[in-house]
Amino acid sequence: MSNAKTHRILAVDDQKVFIRAFETLLKKQGYDFISASNGEDGIIKAGKYMPDLILLDLVMPDMDGREVCRALKKDPKTWNIPIIMLTSSEEHSERLAALEAGVSDFLNKPFDNEELLLRTRNLLRLKEYEDFLKEYHVRLDEQVQKRTAEIVKANKELIESKLALKDGYVDTVHKLTRIAEYKDQETATHIKRVGHLCSCLAVNLGWDDDAVETIFYASPMHDIGKVAIPSDILLKPGALMPEEFALMKTHTTVGGSILKNSRSLILQMAEWIAYNHHERWDGSGYPEGRSGEDIPLEAAIMNLVDQYDALRSERPYKLSLTHEKVFNIITEGDGRTLPAHFNPRLLEVFKDTHEEFNKTYEANS
């Protein structure tokens, strides 16, 4: 298996047997491989070759993996390179210290080849999209600087500049949203629908036009983190195994990471939605188990919309349900879905306007 884009991976380990094992496995997958035998050399090579991912041993003489990680995260050139820490220790305190230093993931020694490749692919996907957004921000900053110089001349140019900037954000939103279509066409249909359904709830909550427009564009990016989830898990026709579901749940944190630190109000809202849309009012959701008003309202809207649309839609593992059946499940519960999962205020708005909600779904199916 070769990669469409050749990614460069740096392995830093003082044990040659592991370096050789990494090199054999990763080169076979088409990766560009470089290595370092100690922490100091690893820091130098990271700055020189700018790898897309670093495999870093925790226990090394002179300079251990945590020290190397801290040094890399302080350097503006290398701070955003994802790092997998290699360790034979299961000590909770050591892992916490490594996470505090900036480690992205862990891999136990001796390592499993399939696990190494899976973690490598996931982090490389995340790095690709972070690089994409970073490049986009650079281009956007250049555009804003150019427009700023022009708007001094005339109010007309100011208006045109604002419109162009908004179009740029919306265009970026559409491109990011289309990522999911490469995974699953049914997911793509779901993505196009949720913007209308979220807007329907937002209007009936009394949001102003700008806020309604923002959630219309932001909500379709709620599942962008699923780019990091293998297709065989996304499209699995049966129930997920515990370890598969644990991996599936990471799409919330991955999605939030992809969208974070944007200047766009749309992408800022999209970040909050992506990260929090599986949180539940009663605290039984994920990734943090937030409850009540601690859950952003836009994410709570997405949570209800996501549940409604999922129940209405046909999926590889289920048939579609009628609006009446789904209305009863959400408002009365069925043992798996409970009214306690949803923001009570949203639930009341949904009850009062559910026929309009149904029409919105049907019009966009």
pLDDT in tens, 47-79: 999 999 999 999 898 899 999 999 999 999 898
Token pair listed for 304: 């209800």
Q: 337 in helix, strand or coil? A: coil
* The pLDDT of residue 218 is above 80: yes
* The pLDDT of residue 179 is above 70: no
Domain boundaries, the chain: 8-124, 183-363
- The strand order across the sheet containing 53-57 reads 32-36, 8-12, 53-57, 83-87, 105-108
CB 346 within 8 A of CB 301: yes
CB 27 within 8 A of CB 71: no
Q: Which pLDDT score, from 0 to 100, does residue 145 have? A: 75
pTM over 0.75: no
Among 124-133, 163-172, 208-217, 272-281, which is the least confidently predicted range? 163-172
Instruction: Report pLDDT digits (tens) over 302-355.
Output: 999 999 998 998 876 678 899 999 999 999 999 999 999 999 999 999 999 999
Instruction: Report pLDDT digits (tens) over 109-135.
Output: 888 899 999 989 888 888 888 777 777
Hey, what amino acid is at 312? R
Rg of the chain over CA atoms, in angstroms? 23
Of 179 and 247, more confident: 247
Q: Which pLDDT score, from 0 to 100, does residue 3 have? A: 43
Q: Which pLDDT score, from 0 to 100, does residue 191 have? A: 76
Q: Which pLDDT score, from 0 to 100, does residue 90 have? A: 75
| CATH fit for domain 8-124, picks 3.40.50.720, 3.30.565.10, 3.40.50.2300, 3.20.20.70 | 3.40.50.2300
Q: Which residues make Cβ contacts (< 8 Å) with residue 63, sequence separation at least 6?
A: 38, 39, 40
Q: Which residues make Cβ contacts (< 8 Å) with residue 134, sequence separation at least 6?
A: 80
User: Long-range pairs for 41-48 at CB < 8 Å and ≥24 separation?
Assistant: 41/12, 42/10, 42/12, 42/68, 43/68, 43/71, 43/72, 43/75, 45/10, 46/10, 46/72, 46/78, 46/81, 47/75, 47/77, 47/78
Region class of 142: left (phi > 0), else alpha (psi between -120 and 50), else beta: alpha
Q: 223 in helix, strand or coil? A: coil
CB 105 within 8 A of CB 119: yes
Region class of 112: left (phi > 0), else alpha (psi between -120 and 50), else beta: beta
The DSSP element (H or E) to which 95 belongs, if any, is helix 92-101
CB 251 within 8 A of CB 228: yes
183-363, CATH topology level = Hypothetical protein af1432 (1.10.3210)
Exposed, middle or buried by CB within 10 Å (0-12, 13-18, 19+), for 241? exposed
Mean pLDDT of the chain: 85
